[in-house]
Amino acid sequence: MSFKLKYQAVPKKPNPMVQINPLKKGTEKIVNLQDRVDKLNNSSAWKKTVKAWKATGKKFDLDRIPKFGNFKLGRTGIAEDIQRALDEKHCANKIGNPALFDPALLQPIQCILTSKGEMLSVNSQHTASTIAGLIDAGLVNGHTDWKEFEYPFWYLETDDLAFARRAFGIHNGKGSKPQSEYQKLRNAIFVVRLDKDTSDPKEVALEKKVATAEKYKCFPVEEKSNLANYPGTFTNISTFETLNVDEISVSCAWHNKYFHYETVHVSLFFIFREICRQFKSAKIKITPKLEEELAALVQSLFGNLAQFQESVKEAHRRWTEKRYGYQANWDDDAYSCALVQLYQKFGGTEKVALTLLDQFDGLIDFFDEDILNLA
Helices 181-193 and 201-215: angle between axes, nearest 10 degrees: 100
User: What confidence score (pLDDT) does residue 33 get?
Assistant: 83
**Domains contained in the chain, CATH given:** 63-174 (3.90.1530.10), 216-372 (no CATH)
Q: Please state whether the predicted TM-score (pTM) of the whole model is above 0.75.
A: no
Task: Let me know: does 323 contact 246? Beta carbons within 8 Å.
Answer: no
Q: Output the pLDDT for position 242.
A: 96
Please, what sign has the CA dihedral across residues 136, 139, 140, 141? Answer: positive
What order do you get walking across the sheet with 76-78 strand by strand? Answer: 67-72, 150-157, 109-113, 119-123, 76-78
In a structure prediction context, what are the per-residue pLDDT tens digits for the chain, which is 375 residues long? Answer: 688 899 999 999 999 999 999 998 776 677 778 888 888 889 999 899 889 888 998 888 877 777 888 999 999 887 665 666 788 988 888 888 888 888 988 889 888 888 888 888 877 888 889 999 999 999 989 999 999 999 999 888 888 776 666 665 565 554 445 678 998 898 888 888 887 888 889 999 999 999 999 999 999 999 989 999 999 999 999 999 999 999 999 999 999 999 999 999 999 999 999 999 999 999 999 999 999 999 999 999 999 999 999 999 999 999 999 999 999 999 999 999 999 999 999 999 999 999 999 999 999 999 998 888 887
Question: What b/e readout covers 323-336, taking b as 16+ CB neighbours within 10 angstroms?
Answer: eeeeeeeeeebbbb
Nearest to 23 by CA among 262, 184, 220, 213: 220
